[in-house]
Structure 1
């Protein structure tokens, strides 16, 4: 009995980590939103996209005969149901990736920390390239870049404090 109490005293108590909670919320929210997008794209795979687009424009009281909208409707006719299914599957898999990552972070599993570091680091060069090759500066891409850099830095710098190690 004394040995069990001694082991409990030796184990470090995990401190609150509000930044980690923010990252967890971000990952779980992203996963849920992507899951909804995947389901929405899947539900559109059997539909006539140009006709659906015209119905949406009429619902929003926009003129479907304007050049911009008619060009967009023509481009939508080029999208095949097979392409939509591939997009839905890819988005679904990525949403599961984010959800598993977020749930792993909830339980402070070290593999989830490494997964979050890897995923965030993966997108940094892509975002830098996007910023460098755009005609106009995008605050959205810049913000996502800063967020990903911050996530990588925070999780790397605090990896020993935040996660259980087996």
Structure 2
């Protein structure tokens, strides 16, 4: 609490973005752990058994394609995927915690990382339009727009002092 005894008002938008980043990180960690659990296993066989248990048509075009690609995953590649996911989840936790604490460096970090992935998201959307890809692009554009506006406003406020 500030010395004047007046509580500083929390920025609810930053808290919302922080929550989004923290939840995203938890999801990435779950996927990374799942990938590590597939080390020393036949990934295509595991996915085939899962598809059969879910009563999916394993002879279907999409599932056959996925099973074929899954058979190419080596233990080394699974570890690489897990490492990348853990690393990216760590960045997400850093962003989320920094935003929760309303740290300026976290606002810059989040804006830079969000902007850096936009070209990839747009490329993926051009390749194949899905509602999930459109929603993620929209959310990330909204996050970036808010952070940029917030940082510009913060800079103006600092200059007035």
Q: TM-score with structure 2 length normalisation? A: 0.81
The structure whose Rg is larger is 1
Do the aligned partners of 1:45 and 1:85 also contact (CA within 8 Å) in 2?
Answer: yes
Aligned to 2:73, which of 61, 76, 79? 79
Q: After superposing the two structures, state which structure 1 stretch, 23-32 or 115-124, moved more.
A: 115-124
The answer to whether 1:61 aligns with 2:61 is: no
Partner of 1:52: 46
In structure 2, stretches of 5+ residues that fail to align are 156-161
The answer to whether 1:96 aligns with 2:90 is: yes
Cα deviation digits, residues 49-105 of structure 1 (max 9, x gap): 122122212211234345554443333222111111100110110011101110111
Aligned to 1:130, which of 124, 128, 139? 124
Change in Cα spacing, 1:66 to 1:143, as seen in structure 2 (3 Å) is closer
Partner of 2:150: 158
Do the aligned partners of 2:52 and 2:58 also contact (CA within 8 Å) in 1?
Answer: yes
Q: CA RMSD in A?
A: 2.4
- Alpha-carbon distance in 1 for matches of 2:57, 2:122: 38
Between the two proteins, the alignment pairs up a number of residues equal to: 152
Partner of 1:36: 30
Partner of 2:137: 145
